[in-house]
Amino acid sequence: MSSTEQRVAVVTGAARGIGAATAVRLAAEGHPVAVLDLDEAACGATVEQIAERGGRALAVGCDVSDSAQVNRAVERIAAELGPPAVLVNNAGVLRDNLLFKMSDDDWDTVLGVHLRGAFLMSRACQAHMVDAGWGRIVNLSSSSALGNRGQVNYAAAKAGMQGFTKTLAKELGKFGITANAVAPGFIATDMTAATAERVGMGFEDFKTAAAGQIPVQRVGEPGDIAHAVAFFVSEGAGFVSGQVLYVAGGPLN
C-alpha cells in the first residue's frame, strides 16, 4: 500500500457540489475519504460513487460549526477510517442580502459555518497531522473575498479564510503540514442555482450570462475545483504553502 492510500482525507460539505467532486477525486487518488456533511444520510450518494470506483469512504454527519460534534466526528473518523492527514474545509452556506437588510442571524450563520467551521475542523484534525509529521489542509475561499454586492457576510468569511490559511501555513509548516486555499469563481452547483432563483433568473440563462464575463467563456464545474484541491494535497506540493489559488476561468480585478 502506498503512503497516499493510507492517508485519510476528510472533506466537509461533501454530500454534493464541489465537496462531493473533491471527495470522489481524492478517493481516485487513493485516499480513504470521510464524506462529512450536516446530514449523514445525504452523504450516501458520494460514498456510493467512491465505492463503485473501488475506493473506501465513510459517511459522517456533523455540523462543522458545533465544537462537540466536530470533536466527536474527528474521533470517529480516526477510529473507523484512520487518523486524518488531509482536510478540505469546503462546507458552506449563503445568506445573501444588502447590508441594511442583513439580519444578525444571516451574519452569524455564514461566519459560523465557513470560518468557525474551518477553525474547529482544523484544530481537531491538526493533532493527528502533527503526530504523523505530515498533513494537508485546503480551505475553500471564493472570488467574493475581493468584495461582492449583497454578500458582506460571505465576502468577510471568504477573505477571513485567506488570513486563516496563511496563519495555519506559518504555524504548522514545521510539522510537515501545508495549508492552502482555493478561491473559485462561478461554479455550477446547487449554491449558484439557488442564487439564480433568488435573483429571478433560470439557471441556464444565469450560467450563460456569467460565462460571457469569464475569459474562458464558460462557467466552472465542481471537477475544476477538485483538480486544484488535488494539486495542493499531492505529495509533490509539499513546498507550496500559504497560497491562494483563484480558479475562475481568468484573472479577477
Q: Does 17 bind ligand NAP (CB under 6 A)?
A: yes
**Edge-to-edge order in the sheet of strand 33-37:** 57-61, 33-37, 8-12, 84-89, 135-140, 177-184, 244-247
| Rounded CA separation 42/174 (Å) | 37
Q: What pairing do the DSSP bridges indicate for beta strands 8-12 and 33-37? A: parallel
Name the minimum Å distance from CB 225 to ligand NAP: 7
Q: Does the active-site annotation cover 154?
A: yes
- Determine phi and psi for 41, rounding to 5 degrees: -60, -35
Q: Does 186 bind ligand NAP (CB under 6 A)?
A: yes
Any idea how long the chain is? 253
The site string for ligand NAP over 54-73 (x = CB under 6 A, - otherwise) reads ---------xxx--------
| Rounded CA separation 26/12 (Å) | 13
Q: Does 146 bind ligand NAP (CB under 6 A)?
A: no
Q: Judged by CB under 6 A, which stretch of 32-40, 125-133, 208-216, 234-242 contacts ligand NAP?
A: 32-40
Q: Judged by CB under 6 A, which stretch of 170-178, 184-192, 204-212, 232-240 contacts ligand NAP?
A: 184-192
Contact 183/245 with Cβ under 8 angstroms? Answer: yes
Q: Does 189 bind ligand NAP (CB under 6 A)?
A: yes
Q: Which residues bind ligand NAP (CB under 6 A)?
A: 12-13, 15-19, 37-39, 63-65, 90-93, 113, 117, 140, 142, 184, 186-187, 189-192
